[in-house]
Amino acid sequence: MPGVAQANIRRRDRFAVLARCELDDLEQQFRTLGLNPEVTFLRPIETGLVMLRGRAGGTGAAFNLGEATVTRASVRLGDGRIGHSVALGRDRKRATLAAVVDALAAEADDEQRIETAIIAPLRQKLAEEDRREAELVAATKVDFFTMVRGEDE
């Protein structure tokens, strides 16, 4: 079912953006929709832990590296749409709003609208920040010269 796979990829991408964006930016983009949906929580919004795993040598056996705080929210909108959010950290406000955005995008008709109004601008801002950081790092790229030792001359 390529349709389902595509929808999953888009949802993954929404999660990635919503998990990283600043609350202020998310609120600002959300306001552009002019919506005020009725929200009920499917379960209480919660902060807990996620055990982060690495791999020995980067590619080998998995091991437990240490935990991180994580906050999750699951909401139902007035029209029955359900949305979830999970993000590192303890920002409950952002978690709630991210779950609302996920719920709104659950309806195929609204998904494109959410993408255009909220996700795309946030994604672009994050990408710009990443690019700026990468360019600063790239300026520290060094070329070392191996010196010829005296005895070789």
Partner 1 sequence: MYVAVKGGEKAIENAHRLLDEKRRGDRRLPALSLEQIAGQLALAVDRVMAEGALYDRELAALAVKQARGDMIEAIFLLRAYRTTLPRFYESLPVDTGAMGIERRISACFKDLPGGQLLGPTFDYTHRLLDPDLTGEEVEPNDLGTAEANDAVMRVSDILAADGMIESEEPLVDEDGVEATPGDMTRRPLSYPLSREQRLQALARGDEGFLLALGYSTQRGYGRNHPFAGEIRIGLVEVEVDLPELGHAVPIGRVRLTECQMVNQFRGSSETPPQFTRGYGLVFGQSERKAMSMALVDRALRARDFGEDVLAPAQDEEFVVSHCDNVQATGFVEHLKLPHYVDFQSELQLIRTLRQEWAEARESDADGDEEFGREAAE
Site residues, partner 1 (CB under 8 A): 8, 11-12, 15-16, 19-20, 46-70, 72, 74, 84, 86-90, 130-131, 133-144, 146
Alpha helices by DSSP H, 21-139: 23-31, 92-104, 108-114, 120-138
Backbone Cα Rg of the chain: 21
Question: Toward partner 1, which CB reaches closer, 70 or 100?
Answer: 70
Q: How far is the CB of 87 from partner 1 (least distance, A)?
A: 5
Q: How far is the CB of 77 from partner 1 (least distance, A)?
A: 16
Helix (H) or strand (E) run with residue 76 in it: strand 62-77
Q: How far is the CB of 13 from partner 1 (least distance, A)?
A: 8
Question: Toward partner 1, which CB reaches closer, 4 or 34?
Answer: 4
**What is the rounded CA–CA span in Å between residue 80 and residue 120?**
25
**What is the rounded CA–CA span in Å between residue 111 and residue 35?**
14
Question: Toward partner 1, which CB reaches closer, 32 or 47?
Answer: 47
